């Protein structure tokens, strides 16, 4: 006698968000990226559909990173002080379909670059490559509120993804994205209730919920991954049973978190028993990425090309139905 598996029936699906606008849509992108749309928990194709696979965004900075270990800098060592060439390297050599520009250089402690300089950087990257762009501030609210509207205006009609809007600092960025036709990232500190509240606050300003992406914040493998996983899983379950204010795709900053871990950034001389850092670091990033993909991540912002290659292959395998 055969055993019939019990299948869940979901009443809702995750919103679909598209990043990038082609010439026909008023932008200049040569390609677009669409994420979300799942009507089931990740990769349970017997219960629903996942029309859009997760996508990797390769991270670039507007200044040479000060805290990256040599192993991580190596693939980009000759372009780290030139964000335009760095962007081209990611697209042309490492086949990035999406880029994430972090404006670290605008931070008061890392150069305090002007809004005009940051906007020029955004514009130069958009002119140099045709893939869609994510643009992030530096995390200093006062400076981000001065700079990001200028960058938003410089990228008007390109349908970028700008971040991050938080519970205490969302109005300026939301207004800029609303005026210039961009998507927005709502950030919450590993808290499902705050994640929902941020989305409500953004949408109360007249912002389309289908242009919001959730940054739930995550930890790296070994550094709170279990807690982050459970928060993402709870949010996805709530969305599938009908919570419209949690029905947004997830973005996870995998590279940032993974390369903070001592297991990734410690050299072999510090811990010879851990093996070569050139292998260990990318694998730590890739394993962190696999973990968040399994609980529903839609966009993974990553750093090392080897880790990117591993997770792309993993996603392709997971997306094979049956």
Question: What per-residue confidence (pLDDT) applies to 56?
Answer: 98
Q: Who's near 163: CB < 8 A, 6+ residues apart?
A: 134, 135, 136, 137, 173, 184, 185, 187, 213, 215, 251
Per-residue CA distances from 250 to 19, 76, 167 (Å): 14, 27, 17
Is-above-0.85 flag for pTM? Answer: yes
Q: What is the pLDDT of residue 1?
A: 57
How sure is the predictor about 118, in pLDDT bands with cuts at 50, 70 and 90? very high
- DSSP state, residue 168: T
Q: What is the mean pLDDT of residues 197-206?
A: 98
Q: Return the domain boundaries, the chain.
A: 16-318
Domain 16-318 fold is TIM Barrel (3.20.20)
Chain segment 9-39, per-residue pLDDT in tens:
899 999 999 999 999 999 999 999 999 999 9
pLDDT at residue 299 tops 90: yes
pLDDT at 322: 59
Nearest to 253 by CA among 284, 280, 216, 278: 216
For position 5, what pLDDT does the model report?
76
């Amino acid at each position: 006698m055969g055993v019939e598996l019990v299948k869940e029936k979901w009443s809702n699906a995750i919103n679909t968000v598209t990043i990038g606008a082609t010439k026909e849509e008023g932008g200049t992108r040569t390609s677009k990226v669409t994420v979300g749309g799942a009507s089931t928990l990740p990769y349970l194709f017997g219960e629903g559909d996942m029309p859009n696979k997760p996508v990797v965004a390769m991270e670039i900075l507007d200044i040479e990173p000060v805290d990256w270990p040599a192993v991580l800098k190596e693939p980009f060592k000759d372009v780290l002080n030139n964000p335009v060439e760095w962007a081209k390297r990611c697209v042309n050599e490492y086949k990035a379909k999406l880029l994430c520009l972090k404006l670290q250089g605008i931070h008061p402690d890392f150069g305090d670059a002007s809004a005009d300089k940051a906007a020029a950087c955004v514009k130069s990257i958009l002119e140099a490559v045709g893939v869609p762009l994510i643009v992030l501030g530096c995390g200093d609210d006062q400076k981000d509120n001065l700079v990001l509207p200028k960058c938003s205006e410089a990228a008007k009609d390109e349908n970028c993804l700008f971040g991050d809007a938080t519970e205490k600092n969302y109005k300026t960025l939301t207004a800029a994205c609303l005026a210039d036709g961009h998507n927005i990232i709502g950030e919450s500190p590993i808290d499902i209730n705050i994640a929902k509240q941020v989305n409500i606050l953004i949408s109360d300003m007249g912002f389309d919920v289908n242009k919001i992406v959730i940054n739930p914040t995550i930890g790296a493998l070994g550094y709170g991954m279990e807690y982050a996983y459970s928060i993402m899983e709870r949010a996805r379950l709530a969305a599938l049973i009908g919570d419209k204010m949690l029905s947004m795709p997830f973005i996870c900053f995998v590279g940032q978190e993974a390369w903070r871990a001592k297991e990734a950034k410690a050299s072999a001389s510090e811990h010879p028993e851990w093996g070569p850092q050139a292998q260990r670091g990318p694998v730590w990033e890739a394993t962190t990425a696999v973990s968040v993909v399994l609980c529903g991540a839609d966009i993974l912002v990553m750093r090392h090309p080897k880790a990117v290659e591993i997770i792309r292959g993993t996603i392709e395998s997971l997306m094979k139905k049956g």
